[in-house]
Structure 1
Amino acid sequence: MKTASTSAEEPRWLTDEEQIVWRSYVHASMLLEDHMDRQLQRDAGMPHIYYGLLVKLAESPARRLRMTELAMHAKITRSRLSHAIARLEKSGWVRREDCASDKRGQFAVVTEEGLDVLRRAAPGHVTAVRNAVFDRLSGEQQKALGEIMQIIAEGLQPDEAGADLPWLR
């Protein structure tokens, strides 16, 4: 049981080795996201987040999801999603549909044009992912990376009850 005095104790600082690992992770993840963004902007005229939204919609039943569910999958606020969907609508890649069972709810639906742009963008995107990540790692390293990322994701998966989650804002 923690006492008042333990809350004032010194934090468990990272060791030098842990600091190297942490900074390498942050540096690589920032470079990777930038690399994916630049590739998709150049080849498909969209940022990485829009590509992810189109993929999620294309993989969903009837190629549509409620806006709140889409925000949850993208790990973004509803207002950021609304802005992204407005841009995708302007491009003709997505449309919104009202929810019959909930007058306040809306669905985002990927259009045929959106599917076409996704099909055209996918080969270049998978090549960029392969070049940036998988071609640089052995099979054993790929497996280890997958296991590590799964452990981290599971440990960070929020308990939605009372959590300050972006998609609930």
Structure 2
Amino acid sequence: MEGNKNDIQWLDAEEQKSWRALLQGISKFLAAANADLQQQEDLSLSEYEVLAYLSEAPGRQLRMSQLAQNLVHSRSRLTHTVHRLEKQEYVQRLQCADDKRGRNCILTEKGWQKIQSAAPVHVGSVRKYLIDSLTRKEFLELGRIFAQIMPDEKE
């Protein structure tokens, strides 16, 4: 950290209120979306995200390191999530053909069926708890703002 504590520009009352509303809103949204997936599909939001990324990838597979980067998860957290998905036979991990040190995560046919079943639940939650609370313009602006705040390293 640069500077010292005395150099900090503290949040004013409006900024503090907005910051806390943001944290609470994100937490409540994630909890509600996760609960819907758990109740209707016996799948966590983290598990759903893994299946979704794999379903969109060429050959329905990604290197574990790429999957971790896409999900913004630590490798250890991703490993635990993928292990749970392997037990359910939704994914399998195989050694990379071109690099023996790496592992690919592959969506199985059972995993493909699961993501097709779970996707309407997830999209319904996103609409119910987020999109329907905003105008289209506000929602698109929200995405633009977050892209500006936390730009993708690849860009």
State the partner residue of 1:127: 124
State the partner residue of 1:147: 144
| Counterpart residue type for residue 144 of structure 2 | E
Aligned length: 153
State the partner residue of 1:14: 11
> Tell me, which stretches of 5 or more residues in structure 2 are unaligned?
none
State the partner residue of 2:22: 25
| Counterpart residue type for residue 95 of structure 2 | D
Pick from 38, 51, 63: which aligns with 1:41?
38
SS at match of 2:123: helix
Q: Which structure is larger by alpha-carbon Rg, 1 or 2?
A: 1
TM-score scaled by structure 1?
Answer: 0.84
| Counterpart residue type for residue 78 of structure 1 | R
- Measured in 1, the distance between the counterparts of 2:76 and 2:5 equals 38
Give the % identical residues. 35
SS at match of 1:46: coil
**Structure 1 runs (4+) greater than 6 angstroms displaced:** none
Pick from 85, 98, 103: which aligns with 2:100?
103
- Measured in 1, the distance between the counterparts of 2:144 and 2:65 equals 29
- Measured in 2, the distance between the counterparts of 1:53 and 1:94 equals 9
- Measured in 2, the distance between the counterparts of 1:59 and 1:152 equals 25
> Tell me, which stretches of 5 or more residues in structure 1 are unaligned?
160-169
SS at match of 1:104: coil
TM-score scaled by structure 2?
Answer: 0.92
| Counterpart residue type for residue 116 of structure 2 | R
Superposition CA RMSD, Å: 1.7
- Cα shift at 1:158: 5.8
- Measured in 1, the distance between the counterparts of 2:137 and 2:58 equals 34
Deviates more, 1:136-145 or 1:34-43: 136-145
SS at match of 1:135: helix
